A and B are shown apart, each in its own frame.
Chain A
Amino acid sequence: MAAISSDTSQKPRISYHEFYTDGFTPREHYRPLWEHIQSVGQNAFEAKVHESQLALHAEGVTFTVYGDSDEGIERIWPFDLIPRIIPASEWSIIESGLKQRVRALNLFLKDIYHDQRILKDGVVPAELIYQGKDFRREIMGIDPPHDIYTHISGIDIIRDEDGKYLVLEDNLRTPSGVSYMIENRVIERRILPEFFAKYRVRRVEHYPALLLEALRAVSPRGTGQAEIVVLTPGIYNSAYFEHTFLAKEMGVELAEGRDLVAKDDVVYLKTTTGLQRVDVIYRRVDDDFLDPLVFRSDSTLGVAGIINAWRAGNIAIVNAPGNGIADDKAVYPYVPDIIRYYLAEAPILHNVPTYQMTNPEERAYVLDNLERMVVKAVSESGGYGMLMGPASTPALRKEFAAKVQEDPRNYIAQPVIQLSRHICYMDGELEARHLDLRPYIIYGDDINVVPGGLTRVALTKGSLVVNSSQGGGSKDTWVLAE
C-alpha cells in the first residue's frame, strides 16, 4: 500500500534513460551498438527500417485494436529496430525475482482454491477475495495436474526514475504477446545480423519448444501420451495470430470449442477419423466462456463439461481456470506479503506503490489528486478501463471519480511513474520514448524465465501508455549472456 504523501506540490521526476548515461554518452552495454549505427550512417539504417516493415507485412504479423463500437481493426505490428539490451547482471535479478513471484502466486492459487490458510491467518483479507470478480467458486477443491495453475505468466516490469526494476502487473490468465517477442527476434536477426555479431544474445526463439515441453509435463497420462490442442476463441480474437503461430510452431492442433467434445469426463477432438482423446488444453479462451455448463451458459466458444473432466483428473487446462483472482489488481498490493507468507523470503522485485480504493483515506487522497494518478479497473488488462491522470481531461476525471465511488473494490490507483526511456528510430530521427518489459515465465517441470520478453514502447512522445491496443510499439529485447 502506498504512503499518502503530504507534499502535493512535488514535481514529476525525470525518467531513467536506458540508453544514455546523460544526453550523449551511451551506457557501456550499448556502446558497440551505438558505434555500429554511427558507422553505418542514417541512409543505410533508413533502408533497414523499410526492409523490416516489408518483412512484417510479408509475415502477416498483425494485431487487432478494438474501439468503442467497431469490431476491431487489424494493424501491422509496430516494431522499432533499435534493440533494448539487458546486461546479464540485471537479468539475473529479474529472473530470480520472477521465479519467486510465480512460485508464490501459484501456491496462493492452490491455497485459495483449497484450505484458504492465508485468509484464515488474516494475511490477505477474505472480503477482498470474495468480492473479486475472478474468484471462481466452481473450481474449489479441484486438484490440477502437478498442482500447477500458472503455467504461463507474463509479468509486466518497469523501471522507476532510479532505474530500479519494479513489477507493474501480473498476467496469469491468458497472457499474450509472446509471438511478437519471437517475431521481433526473427526480423531483427534477418535485417541486422551484424548487430548480433557484436553481442552474445541469449535465445528466445525456442519458446514454442519450451512451451511444448511444459504442456507435455502436465499431461495426466504422462509425457509419453500427451495429445495437446490450442483452444482459440476464433478468428475474431485480437490474439488469433498468436494462437495459430503457437499451434503451428509446436506442431499441435488449433481447435475451437466446437471441435472438442467432453464425454464421460474425457475430452476428445473431433477428427475425420473419429474422436481422438485430448490430454492438455492450452486454452486462450477466457474463464467466463470456457464451459457453458458451469460458467456463462450463453457461451459458444467453450466446451461443455471440460471443468468436470478437469475435476476428474483427465485433462490439464493451461492456464488453470480461476487464476484471475491472483492477478486481480486489488490483490497485487498483497503480493509481497504473499511471497513472505508462502516462501518465507523477502521479495526480490518490488511493487509499484498502490492505493486501495476500498480504504476510505486512500480513496479520498486519490480522488483529490486524480491528475497525478493512474487509475485502473482491477480485472481489466491491455490498457482498457484505465485513467492516465496527467493526460486526462476534467470530464474524464469526473467520470472516473464517479466510477470509483460507485464500486471502490473495482479500482486501484498508483502514482504516475515516469517509465524509463530508450531511443527509437522515429521518422528519421532518434527520439526517446517510454517503455516497459513483459517477460514470459513457463512453469512445467520447473520454472523457466525466457531470457528476453516483449519490450513495449509508447510511440507517442511523452506518453506512458505502452499497450499495443493503445497505440504502443515494440522492440527486440536482448538479454546478454555473461
Chain B
Amino acid sequence: MRYFIEHETVLEYPEAVREHHVELRLTPREDSYQRLLGITLETEPTAGLRGYRDYYGNQVTCFDIIQPHRRLVTRMRAEVENTLANPFDFQPLSPGDEQERLREALRTTPALYDYILSRSPATPNLGRLDQGFAFPCHEPGRPVLESVQQAMEWITTVLRYKAGVTTVHSTLAQALTAAAGVCQDFAHLLIAIVRSWKIPARYVMGYLASREEGAEEAPPATHAWTEVFIPGRGWTGFDATQQILANDLFIPVAVGRDYLDAAPQRGSFKGDAAGDNPVIRLSISQQ
C-alpha cells in the first residue's frame, strides 16, 4: 500500500515565548516492509532543520526559534509504501529454538535489554501493581506469538476503549483502575505483560490507515501499538486496541521504551505562557 500522509501541529501561546527548541520524531521509519518515498518538513516561523538518528533508531529533526513568537506550526508531508500484507507470513521457530535465539540476540545486541528491563509509570513492574489482576503468563513450551495473542485477548477483559478517561501522561495503574483507556494505554499494558516474560517489547508511535476507500472520518491523532521481539522473526507489531497483528495499514514512525521516547514532538521554551494544547491536523490518503 502507498500512502500520502500530512501531519500538522499548531501550538499557540497567549504570551510570546522565545528560545524555543524542538525535536520532532515524525519521519516514518524504514524497515524491511516500509519504504519512505519522499518527505518534507517545514515550520512556521521558518527555522534551520537539522537531524540525527537517536539511540532507538528514530530519525529526529531538531530546530530552534530564538526570537519571540506566539505561534509555532510544524508540518510533515510524506509518501510511504508499506508491503506488510500478511504479518503471519513467517516460519515460527520451535519454542526451544526461540529461547536459544533470544539468548543469542541479547548477547550480540545488549540494547535489547532495555526492552526487557525498562520500567516506568507507563510500563510498571506488574508484580508491584496492587490491583489483584492475574496477568497472563508465557508457558515455556508455547510459541511467543501465541502467548502475545492470548495476552491481547486478556487485555480486552480489563480495558475497554474509551477516549477521555486517561490523558497522555496517565500511568498504567490509572488506566487499569478506570478499566478504560486509549491505544496508548493498551500498548503500554501489552508491553508490561511481555516484559514480565523477559521478552523484549517496545512502544510504537505511528499512523493507522483505513481499508475503506474515502472514509470521511479523519483519524483523530497518531496511533500507538506494541512491537514484540519474536526470536527468528524480529520486531513484530501487535495492536492490542484492535487485537490484531500490525499489517500494511500500520505506518510505524518512532519507537521507544514507552510513549515518552517516541513522542512526535518535544520542546522547551522560555516564557511565562504555558502552551495551549496542540491542534493536530492529520490526513492519510491511499495513493
Contacts and interface: CB of A to CB of B under 8 A. Distances in A.
Contact of B106 (A126, A131, A137): A126
B107 interface: yes
Interface residues of A, number: 27
Interface residues of B, number: 26
Contact of A304 (B21, B53, B107, B108): B21
Given A261-B19, A262-B21, A297-B268, A127 B64 contact: no
Contacts of B19: 261, 304
Contacts of B266: 293, 297
B55 A131 contact: no
A140 B52 CA distance: 11
A311 interface: yes
A126 B64 contact: no
Contacts of A131: 117
A330 to B, nearest CB: 14
A138 interface: yes
A263 B268 contact: no
Nearest to A308: B62
Given A293-B268, A308-B52, A130 B113 contact: yes
Contacts of A308: 50, 52, 62
A263 to B, nearest CB: 5
A265 B56 CA distance: 21
Interface string B54-70: 11100000101010000
Interface string A365-381: 00000000000000000
A293 B60 CA distance: 13
Interface in A111-145: 116, 119-120, 122, 126-127, 129-131, 137-138, 140-141
Given A263-B64, A311-B52, A130 B114 contact: yes
A482 interface: no
Nearest to B56: A137
Given A138-B55, A263-B66, A304 B268 contact: yes
30 contacts: A119-B110, A120-B107, A120-B108, A122-B107, A126-B106, A127-B113, A129-B110, A130-B110, A130-B111, A130-B114, A130-B118, A137-B55, A137-B56, A138-B54, A138-B55, A140-B54, A141-B55, A261-B19, A263-B64, A264-B48, A264-B50, A264-B64, A293-B21, A293-B266, A293-B267, A293-B268, A304-B19, A304-B21, A304-B64, A311-B52
Given A293-B21, A308-B52, 4 more contacts: A116-B110, A122-B107, A140-B54, A263-B66
Interface of B: 19, 21, 23, 48, 50, 52-56, 62, 64, 66, 106-108, 110-111, 113-114, 117-118, 266-269
Interface of A: 116, 119-120, 122, 126-127, 129-131, 137-138, 140-141, 261-265, 292-294, 297, 304-305, 308, 311-312
